[in-house]
Structure 1
Amino acid sequence: MPRYRLLLEYDGSAFVGWQRQVNGLGVQQALEEAAEILDGQPVAVFAAGRTDAGVHATGQVSHMDLNRDMPANRLMAALNFHLRGRPVAVLEAARVTDDRFHARFSAVGRAYLYRILNRRAPAVLERRRVWWVPARLDVEAMHEAAQLLVGHHDFSSFRATHCQANSPVKTLDRLDVFRSGEEIHVIAEARSFLHHQVRNMVGSLRWIGDGKWSADDLKAALAAANRAAGGPTAPADGLYLTRVDY
């Protein structure tokens, strides 16, 4: 069975998350239904990251095995045709020559972008695509404090209470905070992340930005290795999976 690698873009606000679920439409289900029309039988689609409800993607990677051997560009066009009306698109498709390739387990790095709209006026055109924070935040303090989280740490304080990862220890390669026009962007890069890790780090950095916390408070929260010691969870709206490395 030929295996195909897909690069995806989607608006997470329309889905209950990546994973197929009984309580609503997942991105996985939308793709599997489109692929089944093409292949004539059920098709399983696997992703590099199982994004939560409301989380977007500009660089999600998935793979699927088909009975039919199709040119990659034809597969991309056909999937997009059957996905019409749903806010998900296949940006690229490629035949994978190594049948051991797996969208999730072969990945060696992931990058996320978090967008904070930092202005007094609320979001209108970008509603459900940014976290609106009207009070001006100290971006320099946020970036400086963020560097305390870079490296190999126990991230229990920034892990969802229902996270199923075997270990809370991760290596965070990058956590940059900078202003871009009216927005504040947070870029996080690592081999892999704990459930809600990026959103919990952003929520804590927001407390740094508005003066509720100091860098020492963030350092103490990290050392506590306890979710109760961490800051709030930022909304899903502003989070984007932007890149997966192999």
Structure 2
Amino acid sequence: MKKIKKFLLTIAITMALGTSAFAASGFEFLFQLAGGAGAAIPNKEAKDLGFGTGLSFDADISAQIGYMFQVKEGFGISVLGELGYAWDFYLTGIDGGTLSSNTTAAGGVEYTVEGKDGLSLRQCYHSFKLGLLPKFNIGFGGRHGLAIGIGGGVKIPITGNYGATITTVGTSQVKEELQYEQDINLKRQDIVDLYSPSVIGYMKVTFDYYLFFTDNIGMNFGLYLGGDFAPKLKDVKYGYNSFDIGLQLGFRFGPKA
């Protein structure tokens, strides 16, 4: 009987110490808005076609849900799943190349394009975002804290748009600028048929400053560095990746570090 009491007392003491050590551990929820801009970087196949570095823009509304484990006073580790809506836009093109082709002008007159032409491509995707974002939380005491996150996941495009603008500076017969534009709206099945992979992989590093109003409620003001691996056209393997820098603002519910 004494051995049983001693065993139960040992378990109780161990549980009490464990509860004390992880007193600040708990459920964590973050809702935030983010947006930024950066560079669209061509892959080898796009470079071979003459495409250079372009522009990229992104924005998202996301929720991060998980659990924070306090390692010691003032330091904790969060394991968070991330889901939400993402918008991505890539603007790329060829500028200053020479192109020759037969074209029919107004009135049925044929002429040959002999000027310097420009080709601009626009890609836009509306996606469902799903990922994992572990964070290292540092508490400064009082109402202040800092979190550094490193994670990634996939954006699954649901709809999109693919547009092109061809600009001709001049011709042998008509000395004026001509433009031809085309826009194609894409549904999920179109994206699956045209692109491989049909998802956008992403990685990011986040830096968040937390200002707590209570022990469990606060605002976050942050910066992120992100990289996207955009879909590639199946036939020609043409595609762009991107690197973006942006700002994020959110609401946080969870324990302090």
The answer to which structure has the higher helix fraction is 1
The TM-score bracket by the shorter chain reads under 0.3
What TM-score comes out, normalization by structure 1 length? Answer: 0.24
Work out which of the two has the higher radius of gyration on C-alpha atoms and give 1 or 2.
Answer: 2
The answer to which structure has the higher strand fraction is 2
